[in-house]
Chains A and B, each alone.
Chain A
Amino acid sequence: QSALTQPASVSGSPGQSITISCTGTSSDVGGYNYVTWHQQHPGQAPKLLIYDVNNRPSGVSNRFSGSKSGNTASLTISGLQAEDEADYYCSSYTSSNTYVFGIGTKVTVL
């Protein structure tokens, strides 16, 4: 199972919106609405931001939103803030009854 494809890096200025893509296949992202997004700051465990494509757990800012079209899922961060500078990972359930993560995207706030 190959890792899902994400851009290596995305940057934006404070207050702007950015979007991170996550591309898989019809056997994972495209086949199931089981896409998650996690944020990871250096030295910390990942934190769940989005589950089941577009659902936010309680306590997660509404500046984070998720969507999916075909084999590509996306995470949008609106109103970019300095604290959003981190690594972001998507993941998906697969037809093999396993899970696969994306390669990760480093977000830089300019």
Chain B
Amino acid sequence: QVQLVQSGAEVTEPGASVKVSCKASGYTFSGYDIYWVRQAPGQGLEWMGGINVGNGNTGYSAKFRGRVTITRDTSASTAYMELTSLRSEDTAVYYCARQRYFDFWGQGTLVTVSS
């Protein structure tokens, strides 16, 4: 069965960076795009960007462009999302999701930015 398993919760300080991983199983990893979506506490879903796992091409929301980098390691069936210059407003649960209609989701990774 399709599974996306994300790395564990992170606590970090303002100005630092965080890198979240998303390991896929149960399907051909290179055949589907991976997207990243975040959800601040008590707030809605926010699309951050995505990667064509096959060729590595990426696309990002204008809001995060310049601060976010999405990569993948096809040998490990894993996608990564790195967010830099963190601020308190980046405290959120970060999800990875498969393909353009987000049919399967990771369990979410809570990133807490606090001094």
Residues of A at under 8 Å CB distance from B? 1, 3, 34, 36, 38, 40, 45-48, 51-52, 57, 87, 89, 91, 93, 96-104
Contact = CB atoms under 8 A, between A and B. Distances in A.
Contacts of B62: 1, 96, 98
Nearest to A50: B101
A45 B105 contact: yes
B108 A45 contact: yes
B47 A38 contact: no
19 contacts: A3-B44, A34-B100, A34-B101, A38-B45, A46-B45, A46-B105, A47-B105, A48-B104, A51-B103, A89-B44, A91-B45, A91-B102, A98-B47, A98-B60, A98-B62, A99-B100, A101-B37, A101-B46, A104-B44
Contacts of A57: 103
A103 B62 CA distance: 18
Contacts of B50: 99
A89 B105 CA distance: 14
B100 A100 contact: no
Nearest to B50: A99
Nearest to A52: B101
Interface in B20-74: 35, 37, 44-47, 49-50, 59-63
Contacts of B101: 34, 36, 48, 51-52
Contacts of B97: 46
B107 interface: yes
